Amino acid sequence: QVHLVESGGGLVQAGGSLRLSCAVSGGSFSGYAMGWFRQAPGKEREFVAAIRWSHGNTYYADSVDGRFTISRDGTKNTFYLQMNSLGPADTAIYYCATGWYSGVYTYRATEVYRYWGQGTQVTVSS
């Protein structure tokens, strides 16, 4: 059974940075996509970033492109979301997720991701 554990959320002032981590276990992840999503109060869950575990190609939502960086460390079975230049609009619960990427859906679609972490709160004060 695939299991994901997130860490690194917290409170930060606008303009600051945070790094989220997601440790994955329980499988071989070749062919998998690793993603970060977020959900703000009263809003739907939205795509933030994704990375292909095997070749490292990355994908970003327009709202975070240039500020956030997704990466992975195969030796630790962990992937990361480095978040810079944070603003109040980035306040949300952040979820990591993974699933086999078949190409039927884009990386932005929640349908790609079968396994989800528990979520970690990120709060950006103005």
Region label for 104, one of left (φ > 0), alpha (ψ between -120 and 50) or beta (otherwise): alpha
Alpha-carbon separation of residue 13 from 64, 70, 95, 98 (angstroms): 17, 21, 21, 29
Whole-number pLDDT of residue 45: 96
pLDDT in tens, 34-93: 999 999 999 999 999 999 999 899 999 999 999 999 999 999 999 999 999 999 999 999
pLDDT band for position 15 (cuts 50, 70, 90): very high
Cα separation, 38 vs 47, in Å, equals 7
